[in-house]
Amino acid sequence: ATPTALMVGTGRGAQLGILIKGPEVLETTRKVDTIVLDKTGTVTTGRMTLLAVHTADGTEEAEVLRLAGALENASEHPIAQAVAAGATEKLGGLPTPEDFANIPGLGVQGIVEGHAVLVGRERLLAEWAMELPAGLARARHEAEAAGRTAIAVAWDGEARAVLEVADAVKDTSAEAISRLRALGLTPILLTGDNEAVAKSVAAEVGISPQDVIAEVMPEDKVNVVKRLQAEGRSVAMVGDGVNDAAALAQADLGLAMGTGTDAAIEAGDLTLVRGDLNAAADAIRLSRKTLGTIK
């Protein structure tokens, strides 16, 4: 393509809400055949709500909300914000943790009112040799079967509760994914969340169950991209989180949600300003037009 065509393409991109880092990016955009989509914050809104609290025998809901809410209040994760907001709404206020650590892809741990508290995936509890009692395991299973995310709460060495949170699919995602497919790309859903939740989101937006890659640790997202590239695919990755930055940089084309973190935006080649996946389809179309594959 001529420099003029590339400049026109870049300018047209800006009008469509697509910020392109350099004119050469359009060249890679045209070639991608696979598009990896992060789930939380990319395909879904990332605005989660606390829907239910299931407690173990002898555990008070208010205590679960106070201890888990206090810890999650110190984290910026979308799940943490849902738990903290739900707890604040019910209790009015929350204590400040004496100690706090974020464990990426697993949850949070810390000390609240003298109790050692864990909030996160069941796997986080397993690392401390704790498991959910039968009643809570059942609640977790039912929540996940309904497409919700189940979060475990433990303190002082015992699993005490399961929290249900849910996140809505963006109303633009299904349309955008069908447009990407029509442009010849294979969409793949990639997430740290569990398989059942991931498959229910996939079904809602038209991604095949075999193209769902779930329960991936943040540092392994980049390896998923590498593996697809090793299969000979030309890979675009769309993401919004700090945990997506390495994968965005590794992908042949990194697309960052403009509504996401600075780390993702810096790592991407393209920014979808409005956080609407339709702009990804627009970018592919624009690159093909600019570079003369379609008129």
CA-closest candidate to residue 49, choices 75, 86, 74, 104? 86
Stretch that binds ligand ADP, among 29-37, 139-147, 190-198, 277-285 (CB under 6 A): 190-198
Give 16-66 as a DSSP string: TTEEES-TTHHHHHHH--EEEEEIIIIIEEEEEEEEEEEE-TT--HHHHHH
* Shortest reach from residue 48's CB to ligand ADP, in Å: 10
CA-closest candidate to residue 106, choices 167, 40, 192? 192
Task: Choose between 20 and 189: whose C-beta lies nearer to Mg ion.
Answer: 189
- Sign of the Cα pseudo-torsion (56, 57, 59, 62, in order): positive
Residue whose Cβ sits closest to ligand ADP:
192
* Shortest reach from residue 1's CB to ligand ADP, in Å: 36
Task: Choose between 79 and 125: whose C-beta lies nearer to ligand ADP.
Answer: 79
Which of Mg ion, ligand ADP, none has residue 106 at its interface (CB below 5 to 8 Å by kind)? ligand ADP
b or e along 6-37 (b: 16 or more beta carbons within 10 Å of the residue's beta carbon)? beebbeebeebbbbbeeeebbebbbebebbbb
* Shortest reach from residue 214's CB to ligand ADP, in Å: 9
Task: Choose between 164 and 282: whose C-beta lies nearer to ligand ADP.
Answer: 164
Q: How far is CA 196 from the centre of its chain?
A: 15
Distance in angstroms (rounded) separating the CA atoms of residues 233 and 208? 18
| From candidates 38, 252, 269, 282, binder to Mg ion by CB under 5 A | 38
191 binds Mg ion (CB under 5 A): no
If you search the block for the tokens 């809602």, which residue do you land on? 204
Q: How far is CA 77 from the centre of its chain?
A: 10
Stretch that binds ligand ADP, among 50-58, 84-92, 132-140, 188-196 (CB under 6 A): 188-196
| From candidates 13, 107, 241, 254, binder to Mg ion by CB under 5 A | 241
CA dihedral 277, 216, 229, 203 (to 10 degrees): -50
Q: Is 231 helix (H, G, I), strand (E, B) or coil?
A: coil
* Shortest reach from residue 66's CB to Mg ion, in Å: 28
Stretch that binds ligand ADP, among 74-82, 87-95, 178-186, 264-272 (CB under 6 A): 74-82
Residues found near ligand ADP in the complex (CB under 6 A):
38-40, 72, 75, 77, 79-80, 105-108, 119-121, 149, 151, 191-193, 218, 241, 243
Residues found near Mg ion in the complex (CB under 5 A):
38, 40-41, 240-241
